[in-house]
Structure 1
Amino acid sequence: MKHFFTFYIFSSVLLDQFFGATCLDDATAPGDIIIGGLFPIHESVKEVNGTWICDRFSTARLVQSLIMVHAVEEVNKRQVLGNLTLGYRIVDSCSDVTTSLKKALSFMRKNNTRSVAEQPSPPVLAVVGGYHSEISIAVTRLLNLENIPQISYGATTGFLSDKIRFPSFMRTVPEDDHQVRAILNILKSHQWTWVGIVTTDGDYGRYAVQRLEQHAKGTNICFAFTSVLPDVLRDSQLQDSISATVKSITENTNVKVIVSFAKPNHMMYLFNRLLKEPKGKGKVWVASDNWSQSPSILRGRTLSEVGTIFGTTLKSGNPTKFEQYLKNLDVDPEHHRNNVFLYQFLKNQTQQGKRAKPGTANDTAIETLINMIYPYAVFSVELAVEAIGQAVANLCIERDCKTRERLQPSELRDALRKQTFTMDGNNYTFDKNGDLNSGYDIILWNQKSPTTVDVHNIVATFSIKKNHTLTFISQEKQQEVTSVTGDVISICSNKCAPGTRKQSAQGQPVCCYECKSCPENHFSNTSDSTVCDLCDTRTHYSPMGSKTCMLKEILFLKWTDKYHKTLLAFTALGALLTLVVGIIFVARWNTPVVRASVGPICIILLFSLLSTFASVILFGGKPNNKQCKARQVLFGLSFTLCVSCIMVKSFKIILAFEFDPSIKRVLNKLYKPYIIIAVCLSGQVIICALWLALKSPETKWAKLENTKRLLRCEETSNEAFGAMLCYIGVLCLICFGVAFKGRKLPHSYNESKFITFAMLIYFICWIIFVPVYVNVTGQYLPAVEMVVILISAYGILFCQFFTKCYVILFKKEANTEHAFRQDVRNHSLGSISEINSSSVTSIGIQNPAFDVELPMSNSMSLVPLTDQNPPMGSDQSSLSLSPVSNPQLTRLQNDDSFNKKHLKRYSSLPAVICKS
């Protein structure tokens, strides 16, 4: 491969001997060590009468060659090399590869046509230049044949970092990969995502575009078009390519920003055509270092037509010393015969000055040169010369490099690769790729006057060593940039507002997208969001197209709810009535009604009802774990106590009127009311304790609607909840059975029908409650159980106590011992009548005398109700009947055993004493 490139280079050079460009000669200065210089003093070549000559003299490039001259003189002045001096030989590349190769041959000893003895000075040991990457690639291949090191001050293509292909190449500028990152930082800082690219078809342009596209993949920056212009200006396709580029720029109306890696001449031709189109004006151009400091491309046009131009330039140096050098420059052309380029420039300036205004030629020439100083070139060129000078000094410190032990190019190359050199107090060194990563300056072109554009206005710096960061040099510069670019929007699609997300359009780049509304329960709170974030659906929700999540409304049976207020009112009323009943009973404690109702048990019953009403309160309000545990337990225990008391009362009354003495005696021994209540209550205590210990109720969130969530008490164990209710149900069934058995007891003692009615109310409510509770959801679910509990409690309160309170308060004549004795007597007589009637009927005797009113004066006299038989005299009778001769009836009435059996039934009545 190496031989192929060598053949190609020499073929090009030989052809150029016949058809190449004829250019000005060179600039030379004698010295012990000669440095070559390759500068594009002319910017192009053109054909004249079949001969290619250099064209378009560049004052700026002349100034850059003078920077090298000044740097060499400074090294000699400071005697960096001791007794050695540096010399130079500067040639013009004419911005053309073929011309550059021809001129580079003069730097090589083996290919020089003259013998070493005929050479006017020592051979070139190192070369500074060229500026363009394409020229540097070709020249370094040629120079590498003799291992001559080349230090470029402007070639930035990444290809030259390959030390296998370009071992002799070094540079005092970063490679284009870093420049591409700097350009991307400019685009990202302004949020320009829809961008066009213009470049020339060369190694530099292709590499830059490739790296730009590569780095842009992760930044959401897309390129609407990439226009590639032919690298050679005389290419027949150049004008067609420029026309196609103009069409791409004007038709892509959303593209307001264009990145250009083209050469200055190409940009000049492009602007000349583009600015004729109204849609081609007012763009933002991001210029690479190729043309970022070439104001001549405007050809008299102002920035108001072109638009805004940002530029990336290589690291700037301090031009103060060089400016002073130019001010002291002898402007007499004849004193610069050794520098043909400067000679020609001063000569032209002198002629123009004579034609314009005599005596101003000198000032005009110096001013023109100073105005063309590029700070980046001052830094890069001076640094290259300093590196060579200090490397030579280190090599020649202990050897005679002037005469016998001359330096070889390969020695200098290796020394440069390892050399740490100093300039302006800073240390520099080439990295393993031969690059010097000094960073970039970001400039913003300013229109100083109708004919002057400032291309040295540095607004920011780009640091490579500090993680590729872009930093404005001052707040004022940042405001200056913002004032120019603040309204510039270069995007493919309009920004997606919060509440929407970007969705790539079919067949379009990622930067071209549609804005889709976020679905329900999703949100986006930033512009151009790529995704919609999911809300925490447990606590928040959002409608379609929302930019935030909203807190769900928490539902529970609130204290302010009208239904809850109503239930609480009934609860308070029930509790109040319970207390009133208790007060009435205590106040009338010794009356027959209270004593017949088993007073102490009634007080316990009233306390349990009060607790039941209190448990209702726990079913409302915002639930918490403690409340959830307490409400069911309190209700279960209080209502169990209530039913247990009713059951004990029922047993008491049944035992009092049991006819069979043997059964009565056994039951009386087993009847322990408080123990029975405690045993019944302990069963419920065990159920509730196991419930709380193993799987206690707790709060739980439930979703009702998309915008609401329910906070409720979860019973957790339906089995335990059912066991608690079933246990109460079993006790109620026992009460119901006992009450039904005693339905024919004396009126004053007969609570059975009221107990039966109360139990029926309980059964009906709770049977309805179960399916309703299972199927109903929502904030009013606790109200269902509250209603059932209230109905059950009110049923017991009304059935057990209201009739008695009515008698105590409004039927005082019925709340006497006499009234109770009369009730018992009537009940007894009714029972005896039924038995007698049955007996008489069985023997075929009809006795209509039973329809006669009983004479109370001769009625039976009841002693205190004990198990003793009542004394009966010969003149007393249990019943006074009409005088009908009926021996069978008389025998039945005088049967002591019969009367005794009936009277014993009343012996266990609770504390009621009946006297005749």
Structure 2
Amino acid sequence: MHLNNCLCPVELIHVLKWWLAMGWITLISFTLLARTMSENQTCKMIGQTGFMEFSKGGDLIIGGVFSMTSTRKLNDYGYGAFPNTYCIKEFKFARTMIFTVEEINRNTELLPGVSLGYRVFNGCGSENLVRAAIEAVTGEDSKGCSDPIQALIGHSSSGVTQDINLILSPLSVPHVSHLSTCSCLSNKRLYPTFFRTVPSDHFQILGLVQLMKHFDWLWVGIIHSEGLYSKEGTATFNMEAKKEGICVEYTLPYAKARPFMVNTIVNTLRECSSKVVLLFMSLSFTKSFLSDIEEYKITGKQWIGGEAWITQESLASVGTRSILQGAMGLALPLANIPGLGEYLLSLKPTDEPQSTIIKAFWENFFECSFSPSNTTAVCTGTEDLSTVSSGYTAITQFRAENNVYKAVYLLAYSLHALLQCKNGSNPTTGKPCIVLNVTLQVLEHIKYVNFTTQDGAKVSFDENGESIAQYDLVNWQMKEDGSIEIVNVGQYDTSYPDGEKFKIKDNTKIVWGGDSDKVVRSVCTEPCPPGTRKAINKLKLVCCFECFQCPEGTISNQTNSPDCLICPPEFWPNEKKDKCLLKKTEYLSYEEIMGILLAAFGCIGVFLSLLTSIIFFTHNETPIVKANNSELSFLLLFSLKLCFLCSLTFIGRPTQWSCMLRHTAFGITFVLCISCVLGKTLVVLMAFRATLPASNVMKWFGPAQQRVSVLCFTLIQVIICILWLTINPPFPKKNMSYYKEKIILECALGSVVGFWAVLGYIGLLAFLCFILAFLARKLPDSFNEAKLITFSMLIFCAVWITFIPAYVSSPGKFTVAVEIFAILASSFALLGCIFFPKCYIIIFRPEQNSKKHLMGKIQPRNL
């Protein structure tokens, strides 16, 4: 609750209060000393006394200090009297304390055989309340001396509680507060005898922080009243909010009757971007604040409040309804206290005939007077309180009253434990038992109290005298008929483990600020989505950051990720850059058009070679077939079939075996092919030499020598391939360097020397064949095969010379395609240039397929 306003530093306040407390303690000490000097001596405390309003005797007495009047009527000394105003809430607390004492006295198990009495004191202002507390402790009043109390309950204000406790602590008098929430009272060094049944503001602030974190309200404003209570609460909130990544856009003070502050607050609310506003004030300040701003029509804000005002329906007026609609905050838990409602409504002035306060309340409730008057009705004292609508008669919800109820039970349980005796010692403390007429040491036993109220609430204390912090999360909901309903939508309970303390009820309708049906959004910067990274600007608050796209090859898969992660080598980010997807693999397959076309051309080449072989075989006895060495022709056709087929090994997913097969098959088949062409070229040259007189060259290059030459040329390539496969064979490789977003599956060469040795040997044979054929191109015959071989080898060499730069520069599957194209092009060149003209003569010009025609134009000459 609200502390007294003070402009001094906190340390100076404690010093001044300590000196004040020392003065009061000295006064109390002298009073007690006077009582012990003579029992017959009349004791009288200096200054004003007579603060006690209600009392009842008993074996044990507890006291209570409440501000039932906000201005106490003093002697006017000729200047006139000060008017009385009454606090219904404090009066309700006092009646709740009396009800609880009477309930305990009816309990046969708690304090059996011992009656519990009470003394209820009324004070106004800090000084009178302190005097009332001293009167309770010393037992002195205007009527004389009586037995002192064993413990004190009160006060609602944290500031007054501080003042009272500074006096009670040196006297070891237990002091239990039901509504003093300031976290400063948790200091056991300053307040060793203080306990409370209401949670400290520290827990309330932790709950408010968790509330904002739960709804992702990271950008908030704070408006607080001036005074130690609000300033300490605001400072604590800032500290705890920072731990959870919540930023405070502005913190504005408010004071009553200061228009310039109101103007500043209104302008800030309109200009600032935060939608959530924490209103950290006491009830009286909140009433004043709402009254000041209602004319400005501030809407669209989500107001958050503390237990000081969030359940006070009296705040709602015609002008503030639109402001408070959807307001949310933490309230003291709603409790069920059986019989309390009936007890409060059963009050009659005749119950306390000497109480002027009850009569004053009665006159206020029913707008009547116990003194005959012409202007007001006469109070009979029999009026029915259930017909009155006020804070006192509101018995459907008990929140703060439950803390008074628990405070009385707390003292009763501690007194009960104190009176226990077993084998000469107290079972709670293990110390010797006490006798009834000895001053009761209640303080030590309060620390061990642990009980459960009738509605199931557990009451116990930690080392700082703090009880379990429990709050209800409430929401203001305006109905169509204009009435107000404060709905319980959640709970904050510190007895639960972390992560479960704050809970929202399922299937509960929540109205949001501005009468919205959606959760209010309040952030300085929207969270950075996956695919971006969060960059903090050192010149701004941590909530006001910037978002940058992740660089190429990196991702972020979380909101507000501080860094972007590099994908593994075989993965690549998707378009949103929030996932690493397995890279697409690229290789020349049979499923794509280019692979299908190349495979089709290879098959066509095999078919044409096979068709040519059939044509040659069926016309094997014709002169044109015999004249061109049919044995080498069939071997060449066979090697061409293998050349066309080896192109198919380059299509498909590379494997260990396919990589070794494709290069070696290509190298060997092409050498076999070129060896046959070279043999045919040599045969042409030798045949021309054989036509010259006295020439026997053909016996040195007959069929046997031709076979051996082809075998030797091919065997050399086989040996090169064996060495290549043995030393460092080709192998499948994932090329991830050429393309960033995909993987090229290719066959690595293994030994580069081996690859170029195979290719170089083919080139050497082809170049030799081309030279020999070129020399024999003008030999005089009707069908000179040397010309055809020259032309075929010219194409062959041109294709493979062009292949080298194309092979080196082509990426991925196009490298394989270039190699296949070179194989097919050179194979088709050999097939087309050497065999197609002969097939044309065999099929379409059979008259030219005769020995006479072939030999008719031969004119031997020297080379």
Query: Which TM class, normalised by the smaller chain length?
Result: 0.7 to 0.9
Q: 1:849 maps to which residue?
A: none
Deviations 1:494-536 (A, max 9, x none): 7479687776678443444567677767778998887777778
User: Closer, same or farther in 2 for the Cα pair 1:408/1:537, shift >3 Å?
Assistant: farther
- Measure, in 1, the Cα distance between the counterparts of 2:591 and 2:107: 95
User: Closer, same or farther in 2 for the Cα pair 1:330/1:288, shift >3 Å?
Assistant: closer
Of 323, 328, 331, which residue of structure 2 is paired with 1:313?
A: 331
Alignment of 1:26-65 (within 5 A): 26-42=53-69, 56-65=85-94
Q: 2:159 maps to which residue?
A: 134
Q: 1:853 maps to which residue?
A: none
Alignment of 1:883-894 (within 5 A): none
Of 197, 208, 211, which residue of structure 2 is paired with 1:186?
A: 211
**Shift in Å at residue 253 of structure 1?**
5.0
Q: 1:726 maps to which residue?
A: 760
Of 713, 716, 721, which residue of structure 2 is paired with 1:685?
A: 721
Deviates more, 1:307-316 or 1:788-797: 307-316
Q: 1:858 maps to which residue?
A: none
Report the AA paired with residue 503 of structure 2.
T
**Shift in Å at residue 759 of structure 1?**
2.8
- Measure, in 2, the Cα distance between the counterparts of 1:613 and 1:665: 33
User: Closer, same or farther in 2 for the Cα pair 1:356/1:635, shift >3 Å?
Assistant: farther
Kindly indicate whether residue 112 of structure 2 is the aligned counterpart of residue 82 of structure 1.
yes
SS at match of 1:371: coil
RMSD: 4.6
Report the AA paired with residue 461 of structure 1.
Q
Q: Which runs of 5+ in 2 are unaligned?
A: 1-10, 28-43, 371-375, 427-431
Q: 1:153 maps to which residue?
A: 178
**Shift in Å at residue 187 of structure 1?**
2.6
- Measure, in 2, the Cα distance between the counterparts of 1:793 and 1:687: 26
**Shift in Å at residue 574 of structure 1?**
2.7
Kept in 2: contact 1:648–1:676 (CA 8 A): no
- Measure, in 2, the Cα distance between the counterparts of 1:533 and 1:797: 57
**Shift in Å at residue 578 of structure 1?**
1.2
Kindly indicate whether residue 292 of structure 2 is the aligned counterpart of residue 265 of structure 1.
no
User: Closer, same or farther in 2 for the Cα pair 1:593/1:56, shift >3 Å?
Assistant: farther
Report the AA paired with residue 394 of structure 1.
A
**Shift in Å at residue 102 of structure 1?**
2.7
- Measure, in 1, the Cα distance between the counterparts of 2:715 and 2:405: 109
Deviates more, 1:565-574 or 1:599-608: 565-574
SS at match of 1:134: helix
Q: 2:252 maps to which residue?
A: 227
Kept in 1: contact 2:513–2:520 (CA 8 A): no
Of 351, 363, 377, which residue of structure 1 is paired with 2:400?
A: 377
TM-score (normalised: structure 1): 0.76
User: Closer, same or farther in 2 for the Cα pair 1:330/1:710, shift >3 Å?
Assistant: closer
SS at match of 2:184: helix
Deviates more, 1:725-734 or 1:616-625: 616-625
- Measure, in 2, the Cα distance between the counterparts of 1:321 and 1:145: 38
Kindly indicate whether residue 407 of structure 2 is the aligned counterpart of residue 395 of structure 1.
no
**Shift in Å at residue 584 of structure 1?**
0.9
**Shift in Å at residue 170 of structure 1?**
1.8
**Shift in Å at residue 145 of structure 1?**
0.9
User: Closer, same or farther in 2 for the Cα pair 1:52/1:568, shift >3 Å?
Assistant: farther
Of 258, 267, 271, which residue of structure 2 is paired with 1:252?
A: 271
Of 597, 608, 614, which residue of structure 2 is paired with 1:577?
A: 608
Kept in 2: contact 1:281–1:307 (CA 8 A): no
SS at match of 1:88: strand
Deviates more, 1:396-405 or 1:337-346: 396-405
Kept in 1: contact 2:475–2:489 (CA 8 A): yes
Deviates more, 1:735-744 or 1:776-785: 735-744
Deviations 1:49-107 (A, max 9, x none): 8999796422122212222211111111103111112122223354x444433322223
Kindly indicate whether residue 248 of structure 2 is the aligned counterpart of residue 216 of structure 1.
no
- Measure, in 2, the Cα distance between the counterparts of 1:322 and 1:74: 10
Of 125, 136, 149, which residue of structure 2 is paired with 1:107?
A: 136
**Shift in Å at residue 274 of structure 1?**
1.0
- Measure, in 1, the Cα distance between the counterparts of 2:26 and 2:219: 47
Report the AA paired with residue 792 of structure 1.
S
Report the AA paired with residue 727 of structure 1.
Y
- Measure, in 2, the Cα distance between the counterparts of 1:595 and 1:655: 15
Q: 1:473 maps to which residue?
A: 505
**Shift in Å at residue 144 of structure 1?**
0.7
Q: 2:146 maps to which residue?
A: 120
Q: 1:322 maps to which residue?
A: 340
Kindly indicate whether residue 712 of structure 2 is the aligned counterpart of residue 676 of structure 1.
yes
- Measure, in 2, the Cα distance between the counterparts of 1:654 and 1:47: 147
**Shift in Å at residue 630 of structure 1?**
4.7
Deviations 1:389-447 (A, max 9, x none): 112112112289999544646x3211111222232256532122221214110122345
Deviations 1:707-748 (A, max 9, x none): x64745253544443233112223324434554676677748
Deviates more, 1:601-610 or 1:670-679: 670-679
Of 788, 792, 795, which residue of structure 2 is paired with 1:754?
A: 788
- Measure, in 2, the Cα distance between the counterparts of 1:313 and 1:758: 99
The number of residue pairs the alignment matches comes to 807
Report the AA paired with residue 825 of structure 2.
I
User: Closer, same or farther in 2 for the Cα pair 1:267/1:322, shift >3 Å?
Assistant: same
SS at match of 1:385: helix
- Measure, in 2, the Cα distance between the counterparts of 1:646 and 1:667: 15
**Shift in Å at residue 582 of structure 1?**
1.0
- Measure, in 2, the Cα distance between the counterparts of 1:819 and 1:740: 24
User: Closer, same or farther in 2 for the Cα pair 1:352/1:563, shift >3 Å?
Assistant: same
Deviations 1:562-588 (A, max 9, x none): 766665564444333212111112212
- Measure, in 2, the Cα distance between the counterparts of 1:66 and 1:623: 92
Kept in 2: contact 1:645–1:677 (CA 8 A): no
Deviates more, 1:569-578 or 1:528-537: 528-537
Report the AA paired with residue 119 of structure 1.
C
Alignment of 1:583-622 (within 5 A): 583-619=614-650
Kept in 1: contact 2:69–2:123 (CA 8 A): yes
- Measure, in 2, the Cα distance between the counterparts of 1:55 and 1:507: 55
TM-score (normalised: structure 2): 0.80
**Shift in Å at residue 795 of structure 1?**
1.9
- Measure, in 2, the Cα distance between the counterparts of 1:288 and 1:241: 25
Of 91, 95, 114, which residue of structure 1 is paired with 2:121?
A: 91
Q: 1:857 maps to which residue?
A: none
Report the AA paired with residue 165 of structure 1.
L
SS at match of 1:179: helix
Identity of aligned residues (%): 25
Report the AA paired with residue 167 of structure 1.
P
SS at match of 1:304: helix
Kindly indicate whether residue 451 of structure 2 is the aligned counterpart of residue 432 of structure 1.
no
Alignment of 1:792-803 (within 5 A): 792-803=826-837
Larger radius of gyration: 1
- Measure, in 2, the Cα distance between the counterparts of 1:822 and 1:21: 158
- Measure, in 2, the Cα distance between the counterparts of 1:52 and 1:575: 127
Q: 1:286 maps to which residue?
A: 304
Alignment of 1:187-202 (within 5 A): 187-202=212-227
- Measure, in 2, the Cα distance between the counterparts of 1:505 and 1:802: 78
Of 82, 100, 103, which residue of structure 2 is paired with 1:71?
A: 100
